[in-house]
Structure 1
Amino acid sequence: MRFLPEHCAGLPDPRDPAVTLAHVEQAIRRLHPVPHVTPQELEALLASAGTVLFDVRTEAEFRVGHLPGAIRLDPAIKTERFVALHGAGCAGRVIVFACSVGLRSARLAERVGPALSALGPVSVANLLGGLFRWYAEARRPALPALHPFDQAWGTLLERTLRAQPSR
């Protein structure tokens, strides 16, 4: 995979050394006005029953490292297919979507959220900063490794990790 600006319209270029994960998070919040949870909030949610975590990355990314219990979804899954496969299990639960930086997962949360809400009470959110932020903050459960998505996003991940005093 390679950085494709047309798929990331509105996001800062991760190849720019001045760009931080916080810049990307801010752009995603602006572009996709869905509820977001921080890694700290997700950590608490995962410790309680009633949360379903969907990992919106490719199979290759998922294989490198994912949170225990995460259900992998193809980023291009159609809303109807998602509801048919997972809708019944989402009612009355907290649903969190995650990907590398939060873009693919925010798009999916925005797309399927209304369909899930039509089925009954549900809370849908996106993991702010995605698994890059989770990994950088060394949240528990720890990820053994993390796929960088591509070289451009990998350089952003490296800068993010260097900026974290806990790593």
Structure 2
Amino acid sequence: MTESTTPTLTPAELNARDAVGTLVVDVRAPAEYAAGHLPGAISVPLDALETLLPELREAAAGRDLIVVCAAGQRSATACARLAAAGVTAVGVAGGTHAWRAAGLPLDTAPHSGRAVWAMDRQVRFAAGALVLLGLATGVRSPRARLLSAGVASGLVYSGLSNTCGMAAVLGKLPFNRPQPTALDSARRALRG
């Protein structure tokens, strides 16, 4: 297992920084961002990172680029992708969870549509539901228990590799994807 080598700031270190020279990019799903994000953060979902790479590169040339997610995994992935594209970025240790735990303020944004759970909650629900389905149908058909075994194997792999295939799949669902106008808004904010 390889630990992340992405440089990080603690919430206190980020909070003490000059906001003028710092650009904070939130790579969570749009609904997660709307529910609570660091003040001044721009929403650029992880799946849209490559789409906005030219704007991110330009913005990072003049300011320090800070990337945040819920707990740190997605921001580490984003920082690695940015580094591969020649853009220097720093993550926030513990993400918005650590920011909130430090007693620092979060802003909210309007979100069209119904409330969407945070990605980690979606993963826990989907994994649990699939395990229960495999066990329940396994009463009539023992082979159905393979579904539970498959989910368990995926969770073990997720823990060992520090990645989450289920989150990647769930991130493709319509309610976890940004609206096209949201990317236009992010593009304008990055250029501004």
Q: Give your verdict on TM over 0.5.
A: yes
Instruction: Map Cα deviations across residues 45-96 of structure 1 (whole Å, 9 max, x no partner).
Output: 2x342100000100110111112211111112353x2322322121032111
* Kept after mapping to 2: 8 A contact 1:55/1:73: yes
The structure 1 residue matched to 2:36, chosen from 48, 65, 85, is: 65
The structure 2 residue matched to 1:93, chosen from 63, 67, 78, is: 63
Query: Which sections of structure 1, spanning at least 5 residues, go unmatched?
Result: 1-9, 11-29, 118-122, 155-167
Match of 2:91 in 1: 126
1:137 & 1:48 partners in 2: Cα distance?
18
Give runs of aligned pairs for residues 69-84 of structure 1, distance below 5 A: 69-79=40-50, 81-84=51-54
* Kept after mapping to 2: 8 A contact 1:32/1:110: no
* Kept after mapping to 1: 8 A contact 2:72/2:94: yes
Larger helix fraction of residues: 2
1:137, CA displacement in angstroms? 0.9
* Kept after mapping to 2: 8 A contact 1:83/1:116: no
Match of 1:115 in 2: 85
Is 1:55 matched up with 2:20? Answer: no
The structure 2 residue matched to 1:39, chosen from 5, 8, 11, is: 11
Runs of 4+ in 1 over 6 A off after TM superposition: none
Matched residues, number: 116
The two structures, once aligned, show a CA RMSD in angstroms of 2.5
Give the TM-score, by structure 2 length.
0.53
Match of 1:23 in 2: none
Give the TM-score, by structure 1 length.
0.60
Query: Which sections of structure 2, spanning at least 5 residues, go unmatched?
Result: 109-116, 125-192
Match of 2:103 in 1: 138
- The structure-2 alpha-carbon separation of the partners of 1:107 and 1:40, relative to structure 1 and needing over 3 Å to count, comes to same
% identical aligned pairs: 31
